[in-house]
Structures are given as structure tokens and as C-alpha cells.
Amino acid sequence: MLIVQKYGGTSVAGTQRIKAVAARAVRCRREGNDVVVVVSAMAGETDRLIGEAMKINESPVERELDLLLSSGERISAALTSMAIHALGEKSISFTGRQVGIVTDSVHTKAKIEKISAERVKEAIAEGFIPVIAGFQGITEPASDVTTLGRGGSDLTAVAVAAALKADLCEIYTDVEGVYTADPNVVKTARKLDKISYDEMLELASLGAKVLQARSVEFAKKYSVPLVVRSSFNDAPGTLVVKEDSAMEEVVVSGVACDKNQTKITIQGVPDKPGIAAKLFKTVADNSVVVDMIVQNVSPDGKTADISFTVPKADTKRGVEIARSIAFELGAKNVATNENIAKVSVVGVGMRTHSGVAARMFETLSNHNINILMISTSEIKISCVIDMKYSELAVRELHEVFGLGGV
């Protein structure tokens, strides 16, 4: 088998952990597999570098931030390659550029445009264990360094796995897999043996943190089988694969909670067609990713409130855009709420089972939790609520949908 193993920040935090990662890669190799390793920066390193940057310039140029942040993964890659070599296997490190990962030029959250992986293929053919610095690519033709956003090393791993037509992409982290809810919040949370790409996608984008959402999309698109598992033990982890009929029998697979969003509301917008389109085009042009959108028309029908959520890191930019649009439209005010949480229930079984939404709203209502925004897809229902109720809501939903297992 050709296996791509991706190790996250806690898995490579320090020389002892890096040696353990090398040992696992070497073991897999000696079991007869071809192995490619993708590494993140050591845990805390990216935040440390961002902290240094902020001390120097509160609004650093993003191109420079990318050069800065890409260093963390390069360090991990070089050290991991040395560690594999110390165990007697041939190994060679590659940067994003050397793997041929070409991205657009949206610094700090670049999208992969193509990946050649030529040198990786050659290295495998020559018996090396290639170790790839995750999270990074370069632009063409300028050849500037870009990074792929938080969790971008997952994307590197999946993209490399797709380019190599790997049999499996293992995502090593500090948890044993994907759970029905955050085990820190819900004591009875269970590890899932298997989950569909679509469910994982909802859970990832909902803040389940074990896998970056874009990497799941990529894996689904190119049918790369994923396993999420721990680098600290040999537990089998959670397989993320195509949906099968058995999965549909389970109505709700998991409950997720995302506290990393800000709600921005433009109040008193004159209710004319095309306003929302204009607002969200401007937001998108600024590479701010909007998650939920709600528009309420006032009782007199003349003005509307438009609310949307953005990642907390984009709050400042989101508010600036909202203000400029509000001014242009003659809206009354822009309000911000950072104390929100988005709680979601996810499951492919929802496609065939009804009543999930009603049951969710009822559960929240039973505990006097006010719902601020709602959004739904075929396989999930999300409610934005006051952040202080988030743990309560997750626990109760987990219970109500019978996720606690036996």
C-alpha cells in the first residue's frame, strides 16, 4: 500500500515526539508499505510566530506573515527526516515548493491550484520516505511563499495523497478519532468507527477541529480514504469514507459546537433587492468567509436587519466592510456579538428521517436557550445561541439524539 501519514502539531512537539513519529513511519515502511510523511509545525510554534509578528506590526503584510509561518513546518520536516534517517531508513524532506504545490496568491489562506508531486514520486521509487512540510505552497509565476490557512497541513496531506493516488491518508492527531461530541464537554461521547465525507465535512466546518474542512472536501472530490487516529497509541481511529447504506440508519451522527465565530448585524437596511448581493460580494472580494446569513424584515416592511457570521479572526475586517456598506445604504447601525456559539447536529440519516429540526428546537427551548440564527443543510441543522449555554446545549442534544451509546 501507498500510505500518506500526516502528523499534527502535538504529534511533532519536541524531539521525543518527532522520534516517535519517525518510528511509526519506519514501522509502516518495514511492514511493506510505501510511506509519505506530511508534518505540521510543532505545537505552539505557529502561535509563537504570530505573537512575534503582532509585537512588531499589528497588521502585518500577509505575504510576510506567510514567509514567517511557513518556517515552522520546514523545521519539523527537516527534523523528522533526520529522525527517520537515524533509524536506518532513507528519507528526504521537501518544502511545498519542492512538492510542486502551486496556489493562488490569497496569502494566509491560499487555495491549491495544482500539485505535481514529481519529486515525491521519484523519491518513493528510489526507496526514500519523503517528509513534506505541510501548510505551504508557492504562487506562479512570482514564486512567493503562501500558506493554506489553519489546519492547512491536512490539505497538503490529502492533496499529496490524491496526486500520488495513495491507498490511504492517515491523519495523526492527539485524539483517537472523530467523536459524537467533544469528550471534554460530553462524558458519554463515543468514538465513531466510520463516518461519511459529508458528515465529516459538516463536523469539520462546525468546529470539531480534528480535520480541516477544505481537506475533507478535497478528499471527497478525489475519493481519498482518510483515517483520523492518534499518534500517541495504536487505537484504530475513525475511517472517513463514501456514504454507505448502513450509515443512513443513524439519524444523527454527532453534535458539534463552534465558538470561533462573530455575529455582525447591519440594522435598519432599506429593504431593496440586491442589497444582500452587494454586501456579500464585497465581503467575498475581501476573502472573508461568511458562514451563516439571516435577514429579518421589520414589521413595517420598510427596513431589514442583515446578520451574518464570520470567523473571529476576520471580525475587524468584517465590521469595516459592514460599516462602509451600511453608510452607503443609509442603514442605521452595525452591531457585533462575539459571545455566540453555533451548535449543530449532523447525520446523513436526516435525508430520510424527518423531525430532527423540530426535536432540536424543542430541546433548546426546554432549557430556555434562545435561538439567534438557524441554518440547515440536507444533513445538518445549526443554531447560533448565546455562548454561555453552548456546553449545556451540546450535552442535552447528545442525550436527546441517543448518541451516548449502549
399 HSE (CA, 13 A, CB side):
11
Site for its own copies in 97-136 (CB under 8 A): 97-98
Nearest distance in Å: CB 142, its own copies = 8
Which range touches its own copies (CB under 8 A), out of 12-20, 24-32, 101-109, 354-362?
A: 12-20
Candidates 89, 104, 144, 386: give the one binding its own copies (CB under 8 A): 144
Tell which residue, 358, 356, 367, has the closest CA to residue 396.
367
Sign of CA dihedral 95, 100, 105, 108: negative
Contact between 46 and its own copies per CB under 8 A: no
Q: Which H helix or E strand runs over 226?
A: strand 226-230
Q: For its own copies, give the closer residue by CB, 10 or 205.
A: 10
Q: Which three cell numbers stand for residue 332?
A: 442605521
- Give the whole-angstrom CA distance, residue 254 versus residue 347: 7
214 HSE (CA, 13 A, CB side):
17
Largest CA distance in the chain: 76
Nearest distance in Å: CB 218, its own copies = 26
Question: Would you tell me the crossing angle of helices 118-125 and 152-164 to the nearest 10 degrees?
Answer: 60
Three-state DSSP at 170 gives strand
Q: For its own copies, give the closer residue by CB, 79 or 346.
A: 79
Q: For its own copies, give the closer residue by CB, 107 or 191.
A: 107
Which range touches its own copies (CB under 8 A), out of 3-11, 139-147, 263-271, 279-287?
A: 139-147
Nearest distance in Å: CB 318, its own copies = 23
Q: For its own copies, give the closer residue by CB, 87 or 168.
A: 87
Q: Are 118 and 106 in contact (CB under 8 A)?
A: no
Contact between 19 and its own copies per CB under 8 A: yes
Contact between 18 and its own copies per CB under 8 A: yes
Nearest distance in Å: CB 367, its own copies = 47
Nearest distance in Å: CB 268, its own copies = 37
Site for its own copies in 49-88 (CB under 8 A): 49, 52-53, 55-58, 60-61, 63-65, 67-68, 70-72, 74-75, 77-79, 81-83, 85-86
Contact between 246 and its own copies per CB under 8 A: no
Residue 358's contacts (CB-CB under 8 Å, 6 or more residues apart) are: none
Q: For its own copies, give the closer residue by CB, 68 or 106.
A: 68
Contact between 36 and its own copies per CB under 8 A: no
Contact between 95 and its own copies per CB under 8 A: yes
DSSP class of residue 221 equals H
Residue type, 341: A
* φ and ψ of 303, to 5 deg: -125, 165
Site for its own copies in 145-174 (CB under 8 A): 145
Residue type, 244: D
Residue-wise DSSP of 301-352: SSEEEEEEEEEGGGHHHHHHHHHHHHHHHT--EEEEE--EEEEEEE-GGGGT
Q: Which residues bind its own copies (CB under 8 A)?
A: 15, 18-19, 49, 52-53, 55-58, 60-61, 63-65, 67-68, 70-72, 74-75, 77-79, 81-83, 85-86, 91-93, 95, 97-98, 143-145
